């Protein structure tokens, strides 16, 4: 990267970070600068998924959503991408996103520490695919650890997304010519 400035989209606005520290993690920036604390630090090694966020990226004129570990990803990784945090999933009218609602209905959370990370991994799956079988679900959450519920209720929540409407507040961005 030749400059010390990056631009990314967050909350439908273009954000610019000037004079950034290229060694600062996205997790640190999100929690300390954006003041969004839904994204958690669990292991600080990329092994537990509590810090999972989603980056939207244009590929073949389509937005592809990628769940990443923000504790081991650095600020320059945001360049030219859309940042989506667990707090961003709530609709403008205050209603929960279908993924969040499924986790509640299927009791996919106990202590709640890992829940935002699971929600973000499932959100990326939900946005990228039209249907979800056991293999796709397990692959999508393979980077997330839960020490309380076990995985059955989380997998049940993911399976229930097969009957959900694909229209959410991110839907309008799906087919633009970039």
pLDDT digits (tens, 9 = 90+) for 28-48: 999 999 999 999 999 999 999
Per-residue pLDDT band for 56 (boundaries 50, 70, 90) equals very high
For 7-23, write each residue's pLDDT tens digit.
Answer: 999 999 999 999 999 99
CA–CA gap between residue 81 and residue 75 (Å, rounded): 11
Per-residue pLDDT band for 92 (boundaries 50, 70, 90) equals confident
Handedness of CA 139, 125, 58, 23 (dihedral sign): negative
Q: List the domains of the chain with CATH numbers.
A: 5-86 (3.10.20.30), 98-168 (1.10.150.120)
Per-residue pLDDT band for 102 (boundaries 50, 70, 90) equals very high
């Amino acid at each position: 990267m030749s400059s010390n400035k990056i631009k990314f989209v967050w909350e439908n606005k273009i954000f610019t970070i000037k004079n950034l520290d290229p060694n600062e993690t996205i997790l640190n920036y999100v929690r300390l600068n954006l003041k969004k604390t839904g994204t958690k630090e669990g292991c600080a090694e990329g092994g537990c998924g509590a810090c999972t966020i989603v980056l939207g990226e244009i590929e073949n004129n389509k937005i592809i959503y990628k769940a990443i570990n923000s504790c081991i990803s650095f600020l320059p990784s945001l360049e030219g991408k859309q940042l989506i945090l667990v707090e961003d999933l709530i609709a403008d009218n205050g209603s929960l996103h279908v993924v969040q609602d499924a986790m509640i209905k299927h009791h996919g959370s106990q202590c709640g520490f890992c829940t935002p990370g699971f929600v973000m991994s499932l959100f990326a799956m939900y946005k990228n695919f039209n249907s979800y079988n056991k293999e796709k679900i397990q692959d999508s959450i393979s980077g997330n650890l839960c020490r309380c519920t076990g995985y059955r209720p989380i997998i049940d929540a993911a399976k229930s997304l097969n009957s959900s409407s694909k229209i959410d507040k991110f839907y309008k961005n799906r087919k633009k010519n970039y």
